């Protein structure tokens, strides 16, 4: 492949997982270039890569990877900031000036003397970016920097990247699947497929170009493509609204959810805090999930979504209030089996192969040796991970890890599945796959409770959504009503359809509303 990037450009790299985006970015940064055979030439700043001095390669090219935690090296924020400048051998006074200035630019002053372990995920990634900027690079390479962040932290990070590009003229190459914000601001969209560049166009043209795959488009352009629009595709909410404005539409119709009998899990007036002198995480919270339904719990960072799941799973105990599972008090007797899929599924793996890990579950569920092996193979087949059974769990991609973890949990024959941020950091294809899996679980009669930030997924897969704020449920409704009722904390599709197509909250709703005319 061949391509070049001009100074000060913002280039968005997109492509399905395995298309070679990360490899391409890492090749540009000599220190971390993957081993292997390489042909061709990489030229940086008008010179061949080999002519670039070691110091220049370190300082002129900055790299931020997706792993938020593992990129941190030191134990305090200011030392992390100083790391790169110390490597360059700068005198103490110069380092102090640089870290002070960078901390101010990124709004890290309040965190300056804090321990890195005490920061939130968003703060950690912002620190990772800031510590790269201390070396004053002129090119910034970002490898899915928001993959492990919640949407609010992701927006903050992306706006910082945009500022660096716009205000300081820093050349940015970013690969990212959260494209709604970045797409319209990018100077060029580079689309990779199987190790080749298939598209190299400015965003407006790229959005209507067939070579750009569907998942890489912003929501606005996806709707445009699904409706078979012609001409220049909309890439922002406003553009999509004017595209829809002159269409004749019917209001979106949401069938009433079928009434189910008893709630599988119910929580009554629960209060919870982690320590005696901490604040209440949950206060007077009441919540229930019907048997065989999918319920999404939404809410900001620290609203208590994960804590609520942990309480239902029996990992944490509330200091006041009741937890009922299948109508029975869960403290005395676990009437229904609950399992919890953690935010990072790899926390569940204990052995060096997926197969052994699944077998552990089968044994715990009381299967004998042969019955256990049969059960493992059957579950793996259902989830489509038979080919992965003999791989090391850590060698799987994020989506594959999640499936393997889910298989491990399903072998325990759970009645209630609790999923913590199941679509975090996933690209379009993996998200679709997760939504399909959730639907399959529902079809099997399992009760699913999801804690998520992802409004799009919640709108697509749930029967009921609940908004958690200040420790209790503020509103709870079927997704159609839920997301039309909320003006800001809602799906991008609902933003687009507001006032044009009443009640539309998913792109299916919009497409159907237009097509029916």
Partner 1 sequence: MSNESAFSRLHPLTLSLWFFFVLTVTVMTVNPILAALSLLFSALYKALTTGISIKGISVSLAFMLLIALLNPLFSHHGVTVLFFLNDLPVTLESLLFGGMMSLVVMSSVLWCGALALCMTSDKVIWLFGKPFPKLAVLISLTLRLLPAIKTSYGRMKDARTAAGLYDDSSPFARISSSLRIFSALVTMILEDSIDTADSMKARGLMLRGRTSCSIFRFRPADFAVLALVLLSAAAAAYSSVSKAVLFTFYPAVSYGSMGAVTALTYGSFALTAVVPSFMEVTLWKQLHSTTYRSNTPQARNSRSTV
Binding region for partner 1 (CB under 8 A): 29, 31-32, 54-55, 58-59, 62-63, 65, 67, 69-76, 78-79, 82-92, 95-96, 99, 113, 115-117, 128, 131-132, 135, 310, 313-315, 337-340, 342, 344, 346-352, 360-361, 364, 394, 408-409, 412, 418
Contact 204, 37 (CB under 8 A): no
CA distance 506 to 435: 13
Instruction: Return the beta strands (E) in 47-124 as ranges.
Output: 47-48, 61-64
Q: Residue 184 CB, nearest distance to partner 1 (Å)?
A: 29
Q: Residue 55 CB, nearest distance to partner 1 (Å)?
A: 6
Helix (H, G, I), strand (E, B) or coil at 36: coil
Q: Residue 339 CB, nearest distance to partner 1 (Å)?
A: 5
Q: Residue 190 CB, nearest distance to partner 1 (Å)?
A: 22
Of 129 and 510, which CB lies nearer to partner 1 in the complex structure? 129
Backbone φ and ψ for 196, nearest 5 degrees, come out as: -125, 155
* Surface-to-core class of residue 198, CB atoms within 10 Å of its CB (0-12 exposed, 13-18 middle, 19+ buried): middle
Of 191 and 405, which CB lies nearer to partner 1 in the complex structure? 405
Q: Residue 54 CB, nearest distance to partner 1 (Å)?
A: 6
Q: Residue 360 CB, nearest distance to partner 1 (Å)?
A: 7
Q: Residue 130 CB, nearest distance to partner 1 (Å)?
A: 12
CA distance 307 to 423: 18
Q: Residue 459 CB, nearest distance to partner 1 (Å)?
A: 27
Backbone φ and ψ for 194, nearest 5 degrees, come out as: 50, 45
Of 112 and 469, which CB lies nearer to partner 1 in the complex structure? 112
In 3D, which of 128, 23, 110 has the Cα closest to residue 74?
128
Backbone φ and ψ for 378, nearest 5 degrees, come out as: -65, -50
Quickly count: other Cβ atoms within 10 Å of residue 455's Cβ: 23
Helix (H, G, I), strand (E, B) or coil at 244: helix
List Cβ neighbours of 220 (8 Å cut-off, separation of 6 or more).
Answer: 233, 234, 235, 236, 237, 239, 240, 243, 492, 496
Q: How far is CA 15 from CA 198, 428, 436, in A?
A: 10, 10, 21
Of 313 and 376, which CB lies nearer to partner 1 in the complex structure? 313
Of 17 and 74, which CB lies nearer to partner 1 in the complex structure? 74
- State the DSSP string of 416-446: EEEEESTTTT--HHHHHHHHHHHHHHHHTT-
Q: Residue 157 CB, nearest distance to partner 1 (Å)?
A: 16
Of 232 and 395, which CB lies nearer to partner 1 in the complex structure? 395
Please give the structure tokens belonging to residue 514: 């237009």
Of 103 and 216, which CB lies nearer to partner 1 in the complex structure? 103
- CA angle, 253 then 257 then 259, to 5°: 155
Of 127 and 510, which CB lies nearer to partner 1 in the complex structure? 127
Of 124 and 453, which CB lies nearer to partner 1 in the complex structure? 124
List Cβ neighbours of 164 (8 Å cut-off, separation of 6 or more).
Answer: 133, 140, 170, 172
Q: Residue 229 CB, nearest distance to partner 1 (Å)?
A: 42
Quickly count: other Cβ atoms within 10 Å of residue 253's Cβ: 12
Of 408 and 495, which CB lies nearer to partner 1 in the complex structure? 408
Of 268 and 337, which CB lies nearer to partner 1 in the complex structure? 337
In 3D, which of 218, 163, 150 has the Cα closest to residue 12?
218
CA distance 488 to 499: 14
In 3D, which of 502, 510, 511, 492 has the Cα closest to residue 155?
492
Query: What's the first-to-final CA gap in the chain, in angstroms?
Result: 46
| Cross-sheet strand order for the sheet of 464-469 | 338-341, 416-420, 447-452, 294-298, 464-469, 472-477
Q: Residue 58 CB, nearest distance to partner 1 (Å)?
A: 4
Of 314 and 485, which CB lies nearer to partner 1 in the complex structure? 314
Of 152 and 315, which CB lies nearer to partner 1 in the complex structure? 315
Q: Residue 45 CB, nearest distance to partner 1 (Å)?
A: 17
Q: Residue 341 CB, nearest distance to partner 1 (Å)?
A: 9
Beta bridge partners of 163: none
CA 371 to chain centre: 37
């Amino acid at each position: 492949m061949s391509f070049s990037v001009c100074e000060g450009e913002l280039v968005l790299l997109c492509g399905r997982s395995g298309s070679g985006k990360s490899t391409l970015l890492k090749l540009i940064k000599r220190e971390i270039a993957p081993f292997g055979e390489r042909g061709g030439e990489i030229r940086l700043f008008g010179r061949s890569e080999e002519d670039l001095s070691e110091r220049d390669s370190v300082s002129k090219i900055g790299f931020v990877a997706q792993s938020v935690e593992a990129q941190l090296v030191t134990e305090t924020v200011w030392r992390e900031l100083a790391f790169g400048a110390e490597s360059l051998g700068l005198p103490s006074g110069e380092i102090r000036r640089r870290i002070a200035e960078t901390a101010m630019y990124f709004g890290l002053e309040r965190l300056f003397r804090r321990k890195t372990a005490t920061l939130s995920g968003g703060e950690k990634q912002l620190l990772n970016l800031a510590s790269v900027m201390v070396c004053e690079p002129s090119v910034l390479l970002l490898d899915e920097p928001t993959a492990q962040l919640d949407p609010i932290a992701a927006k903050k990070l992306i706006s910082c990247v945009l500022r660096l590009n716009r205000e300081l003229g820093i050349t940015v190459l970013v690969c990212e699947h959260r494209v709604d914000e970045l797409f319209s601001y990018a100077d060029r969209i580079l689309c990779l497929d199987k190790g080749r560049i298939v598209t190299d166009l400015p965003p407006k043209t790229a959005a209507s170009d067939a070579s750009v795959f569907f998942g890489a488009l912003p929501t606005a352009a996806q709707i445009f493509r699904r409706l078979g629009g012609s001409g220049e595709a909309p890439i922002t909410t406003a553009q999509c609204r004017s595209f829809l404005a002159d269409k004749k539409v019917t209001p979106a119709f949401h069938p009433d959810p079928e009434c189910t009998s008893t709630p599988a899990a119910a929580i009554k007036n629960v209060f919870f805090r982690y320590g005696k002198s901490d604040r209440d995480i949950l206060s007077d919270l009441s919540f229930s999930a019907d048997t065989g339904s999918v319920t999404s719990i939404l809410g900001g960072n620290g609203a208590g979504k994960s804590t609520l799941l942990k309480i239902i799973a029996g990992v944490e105990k509330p200091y006041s209030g009741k937890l009922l599972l299948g109508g029975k008090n869960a403290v005395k007797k676990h009437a229904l089996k609950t399992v919890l899929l953690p935010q990072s599924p790899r926390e569940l793996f204990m052995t060096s192969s997926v197969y052994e890990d699944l077998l552990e579950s089968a044994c715990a569920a009381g299967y004998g040796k042969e019955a256990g092996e049969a059960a493992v193979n059957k579950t793996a087949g259902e989830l489509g991970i038979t080919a992965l059974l003999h791989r090391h769990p850590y060698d799987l991609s994020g989506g594959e890890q999640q499936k393997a973890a889910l298989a491990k949990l399903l072998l325990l024959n759970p009645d209630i599945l609790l999923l913590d941020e199941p679509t975090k950091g996933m690209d379009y294809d993996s998200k679709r796959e997760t939504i399909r899996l959730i639907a399959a679980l529902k079809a099997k009669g399992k009760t699913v409770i999801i804690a998520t930030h992802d409004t799009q997924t919640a709108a697509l897969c749930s029967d009921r959504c609940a908004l958690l704020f200040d420790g209790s449920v503020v509103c709870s409704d079927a997704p159609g009503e839920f997301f039309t009722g909320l003006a800001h904390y809602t799906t991008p599709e609902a933003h687009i359809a507001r006032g044009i197509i009443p009640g539309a909250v998913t792109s299916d709703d919009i497409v159907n509303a237009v097509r029916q005319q």
